[in-house]
Structure 1
């Protein structure tokens, strides 16, 4: 407070000698950074990204329909983290996860599940990676593939991506990626889906970063993009 008072006194003296308007002088931040971005001690303010999402969502109305045929892209880690698997075996968990995936993408012909391989999960990156490998291995079995019916399932696992249908599975060279964040990899899958001829892409991810990325890249994706 003393430092601010001395600075203010100097500014008043300068303003009098140079005929400055104090209202104009005080319209500028008195610090190295704007106060909207920094605290009084110079440290950056912590942001509330959810508030940004709410402000962005105010600019548009909810979509009543999504053009078809459409593709749905799901944040796989978010989906698995929300599941309650305490009373299930790992095989049952894989079945439940696939059921939830098919529910999320019920109105789409193509469903992409994108997993962030480096996000903290189960407090152990090794356990997380092993769980994802197990889920993908289970989804490749004929028993669970039968649940797909006519759906096209794309699953990003580590740096590879698998295309799974009721009849077979294969790796997709065009979706191989070493991106460390699922957020950016979702955009890769959205672009691929539109290149494959889908009329729209719906992204299922409760994430402000994904919303910002979708807005940024929507002009580069040839079809409507929804979240």
Structure 2
């Protein structure tokens, strides 16, 4: 039992040398089963801490240019007074390199400015670390343009990227030295920023809401819960369900009013597609990004195999037709010779 009798320990790795992956979401469900459900009161103040990488992947209807994409991402931020926008840092010789290799890599794509066209395969674009680093820096630069001044009115957006953190109450961002960090993953940076936000809150009527689809974040929050003095909530699909329930209740409560003041449904758990058709917004991410990458790669592989098979069949048919034509010519020549 001392040796794995193979190139890797089979219980911990796959035959190609990659770490074995497990479904951590099952653990989150078990913890939810033994926890009391609490929903943050709407009338209280909220500080939102957002995982930027998840927000990138949540963009479904992509525009034509990077400038438009930057605007869409900014508009997707919660419309509250204080938002922390957290992204991964990309370091050389990282222990995350194997995971990134497993997801696949793509070619470099230079973002020269806001008018640069998005590549056709945006998911593939985000598989290149240099692409992501340049795109994140582009976002920070773009959000400091004068066009965003009105959007930043009475708001503070704290932007964490590349080991630095910029505080943007106006389009002139300033570095926050106490949030400059060498952490590589947004998971741990979200914890650092949530503790910073907790210590910076002076009032007792403020909650901290963390938006992340990652189970790791949920477990880290449990581990660090003793460090917080204000309530911490992890934003999941329950948020959209509560928004829809409150929206319907608002309509019912105004049944005695001829012209009730009904807000836009798109801000309360519904969304519209490219054709303007309204549908339920169930959650930000349908599946973990790792699974989405696997399914996408599998679908692409099947398409390529299908095209290859079609080409083979076409070649076989072409050869058969050529052979038949050749046989026909031979028969005609024999008849003439006879």
TM-score by length of 1: 0.74
| Unaligned 5+ runs, structure 2 | 3-8, 13-19, 91-95, 101-124, 235-338
Query: Secondary structure of 1:60's match?
Result: coil
Q: In structure 2, what is the equivalent of residue 5 of structure 1? A: none
Q: In structure 2, what is the equivalent of residue 219 of structure 1? A: 226
- Kept in 1, the 8 Å contact 2:51–2:186? The answer is yes
- Kept in 1, the 8 Å contact 2:152–2:171? The answer is no
Query: Secondary structure of 1:166's match?
Result: coil
Q: How does 1:88-167 map to 2 (within 5 A)?
A: 88-101=64-77, 105-106=78-79, 108-118=80-90, 120=100, 122-166=126-170
- Kept in 2, the 8 Å contact 1:71–1:110? The answer is yes
Cα separation, partners in 2 of 1:128 and 1:175, compared to 1, 3 Å = same
CA distance in structure 2 between the aligned counterparts of 1:64 and 1:221, rounded to whole angstroms = 16
| Unaligned 5+ runs, structure 1 | 1-30, 33-40
Cα separation, partners in 2 of 1:77 and 1:42, compared to 1, 3 Å = closer
CA distance in structure 2 between the aligned counterparts of 1:161 and 1:195, rounded to whole angstroms = 17
- TM-fit CA distance, 1:145: 3.0
CA distance in structure 1 between the aligned counterparts of 2:129 and 2:28, rounded to whole angstroms = 29
Deviations 1:117-173 (A, max 9, x none): 237571211111000000110011121132122111000011101111136321111
Q: In structure 1, what is the equivalent of residue 284 of structure 2? A: none
TM-score by length of 2: 0.51
| Bigger relative CO (Cα 8 Å, ≥ 6 apart) | 1
Q: In structure 1, what is the equivalent of residue 63 of structure 2? A: 87
- Kept in 1, the 8 Å contact 2:70–2:139? The answer is yes
Question: In the comparison of the two structures, how many residue pairs are matched?
Answer: 185
CA distance in structure 1 between the aligned counterparts of 2:163 and 2:179, rounded to whole angstroms = 9
CA distance in structure 2 between the aligned counterparts of 1:217 and 1:60, rounded to whole angstroms = 18
Cα separation, partners in 2 of 1:182 and 1:64, compared to 1, 3 Å = closer
